[in-house]
Chain A
Amino acid sequence: MAERKIRVLVAKPGLDGHDRGAKVVARALRDAGMEVIYTGLRQTPEMIAEAALQEDVDAVGLSILSGAHMALVPRVLELMRANGQGDVHVFVGGIIPESDVQSLLDMGVMAVYGPGTPSSKYISEIRAAVLGEVVA
């Protein structure tokens, strides 16, 4: 039996065209031994939920710099729950005002990672969430 591979979807919902952050995260997760599915720019919440389903991912990262996170994130979560994927861990990155972070967490988001977050932090937290390991 092969070892358990963590599969992560890194997606860019909405209309902003800045995918540098998403690519940096995707690369860091790849280098941490994960299988990262990258879907490119300007995805609708429907496209993201569909990709998460077909790829049977353990976690979904949403990178949003447009300010539309309070509309996009709940829609993705809702669609994923409707698909039976309520157990998949969703994390958010990008430009998210401090005042919105708690509401996102309350919706069921695993974590919000702003600019400057060290990659070791999100790597170990994703690993812990998916594998049930304790964060060192």
Chain B
Amino acid sequence: MDLVAGVLAGDRLALARLITRVENDTPEGREALNRLFSHTGRAHLIGVTGSPGTGKSSLVNLIAKAYRNPVDDTPPCKVAVVAVDPSSPFTGGALLGDRVRMRDLAGDPGVFVRSMASRGALGGLSHTTAAVVQVLDAAGFDKILIETVGAGQSEVDIARLAHTTLVVEAPGLGDDIQAIKAGILEIADILVINKADRPGVENTERALRSNLELAHPERMRFGSCGRGGKDNQPKTDLLQSSADEIWVPPILRTIALQGSGVTELKAAIERHLAYLRSSGEWQQREHERLQTELNQLLQAVLVARWREGVSDAELREVVARLQERELSPLKAVEQLLDLDAVPESY
């Protein structure tokens, strides 16, 4: 069976099998990615991240359902879900349990759910998640929901992959200092407070909101224009137009288990998509993402190609000289690559 042709024709077994090849980075998987690449770039990639236990899987279940059964007269979207759970650092095994929360999606041919193990990657995704998403994109899914492993503070790879990133919080998980730390909150396009029926939801929302205001001082200035003054009048138009271009992450409350807040959440996701398209940010993100991907690939291939021409003995000798402190690491690189000096821009 030609898996690529099968995937493009909508064959689900071919899709499942090709994802395995791509996840395992086999030669057949790589070849398929080459052939599928021209069919990618159409899906809206929605990332869902947040601490363990905030309800990411339940929310993904809800969002997928909302796209399958729209309450307004928009047509239903085809939805794929990629759910990443951690691999054990000791055995390499993994327990992938996100499907437990996604049973509502069973039996719907317009939905495809795939679980992935992180396989040693630390950024919240696995090394091949982006490639698997490409396969689903080529297979014609309109919305691809990507759920990260339960993320702490710096698992921010998802922001590079997704067009729209949801950061899910729950009441009672941290004070306002947690909220102003760098990292995961910064990558949010939409902030979701799930389990909003729990006590403490007001505090969580206040902390998130004040953090957002700190992050958008220019908007704050505009928002509090009411204070008046001599210099606020002529600039109003200018400020207005630039404020239109700034996306301020909305904060939404949901209760995933009761299905409440999902209509508003879906609307916010669609608003963000419209903003990406109208502001030119879609192109911009796509550009940055492909540039990063190309850089990473170039680095890996350049190193692999160079390594083929170097004997183990030569490398061992250089490392031994490093260990003896006869050579600094930079000097070692110069010697190995036969350079007068490493380029300043490395």
Residues 14-52 of chain A: 1 if any B CB is under 8 Å from the residue's CB, otherwise 0?
000000000000110111111111111001101100110
List, in ascending order, chain B residues with CB within 8 A of A37's CB.
96-97, 99, 115
A38 lies within 8 A of B25 (CB): no
Cα–Cα distance between A121 and B22 once the two chains are bound (Å): 31
List, in ascending order, chain B residues with CB within 8 A of A2's CB.
Answer: 23-25, 119
Q: Is A71 an interface residue (CB 8 A)?
A: no
Contacts of B26 in A (CB 8 A): 1
Task: Identify the closest chain A residue to B108 (Cβ).
Answer: A50
Checking A32, A33, A36, A55 against B16 with a beta-carbon cut-off of 8 angstroms, the contacting residue is A55
A53 lies within 8 A of B16 (CB): yes
**The one of A1, A30, A31, A54 that contacts B12, using a Cβ cutoff of 8 Å:** A54
Chain A residues 58-82 with CB under 8 Å of chain B are: none
The answer, among A1, A7, A34, A83, for a CB contact under 8 Å with B27, is A1
Contact B93 A32 (CB under 8 A): yes
- In the complex, the answer to whether A35 meets B99 with C-beta atoms within 8 Å is no
In the complex, chain A residues whose CB is within 8 Å of the CB of B95 = 26-27, 30, 36, 38
- With A1-B24, A47-B107 in contact, do A35 and B96 touch (Cβ < 8 Å)? yes
On chain B, the number of residues with a Cβ less than 8 Å from chain A's Cβ atoms is 31
In the complex, chain B residues whose CB is within 8 Å of the CB of A7: 20
B20 lies within 8 A of A40 (CB) = no
**CB-CB under 8 A for A39 and B99, given A2-B24, A55-B16:** yes
- Please report whether the interface of chain B is mostly helix, strand, loop or mixed according to DSSP: mixed
Using A35-B96, A39-B103 as known contacts, say yes or no to A56 and B24 having CB atoms under 8 A apart: no
Instruction: Determine if A124 is an interface residue (Cβ-Cβ < 8 Å).
Output: no
Q: Is B106 an interface residue (CB 8 A)?
A: yes
Please tell me the size bucket of the interface on A.
20 to 34
Residue pair A53, B107 in contact (C-beta under 8 Å):
no
Identity of the chain B residue whose Cβ is nearest the Cβ of A83 in the assembled complex: B13
Contact A56 B19 (CB under 8 A): yes
A78 to chain B, nearest CB (A): 16
Q: Check B107 against A50 for contact (C-beta < 8 Å).
A: yes
CB neighbours of B113 from chain A (8 A): 51, 54
Given contacts A32-B91, A39-B103, whether A1 and B25 have CB atoms under 8 Å apart is: yes
Select which of A38, A46, A84 is within 8 A of B13 by beta carbon.
Answer: A84
Contacts of B25 in A (CB 8 A): 1-2
Docked Cα-Cα span, A136 to B31, in Å, equals 37
B228 to chain A, nearest CB (A): 59
- Considering residues A27, A38, A83, which has the most beta carbons from chain B within 10 angstroms of its beta carbon? A38
Chain B 72-115 interface residues, beta-carbon cutoff 8 Å to A: 87-88, 91-97, 99-100, 103, 106-107, 112-115
* Measured CA separation A46–B107 after assembly (Å): 7
- In the assembled complex, the CB of A92 is this many whole angstroms from the nearest CB of chain B, namely 20
Give min CB distance, A54 to chain B, whole Å. 6
What residues on A are CB-neighbors of B12 within 8 Å? 53-54
Residue among B13, B27, B88 with the highest chain A CB neighbour number at 10 A: B13
Please state if A30 and B88 are interface contacts (CB–CB under 8 Å).
yes
The answer to whether the Cβ of B60 comes within 8 Å of any Cβ in the partner chain is no
Q: Which residue of the partner chain B has the closest CB to A37?
A: B96
Q: How far is the CB of A131 from chain B (nearest CB, A)?
A: 14
**Which residue of chain A has the shortest Cβ distance to B11 in the bound complex?**
A84
Contact flag A36-B103 (CB < 8 Å), given A53-B12, A54-B112: no
Interface positions of A (Cβ within 8 A of B): 1-2, 4-5, 7, 26-27, 29-40, 43-44, 46-47, 50-51, 53-56, 83-85
Enumerate 7 A-B pairs (CB-CB under 8 Å) in ascending A order.
Answer: A1-B24, A2-B24, A30-B88, A35-B93, A38-B97, A39-B103, A47-B106
- Give me the interface of B with A, judged by CB distance under 8 Å: 12-13, 16-17, 19-20, 23-27, 87-88, 91-97, 99-100, 103, 106-107, 112-115, 117, 119
A5-B92, A29-B93 known; 8 new pairs, CB 8 Å cut-off, are A1-B24, A5-B119, A30-B95, A35-B94, A38-B97, A47-B106, A56-B17, A83-B13
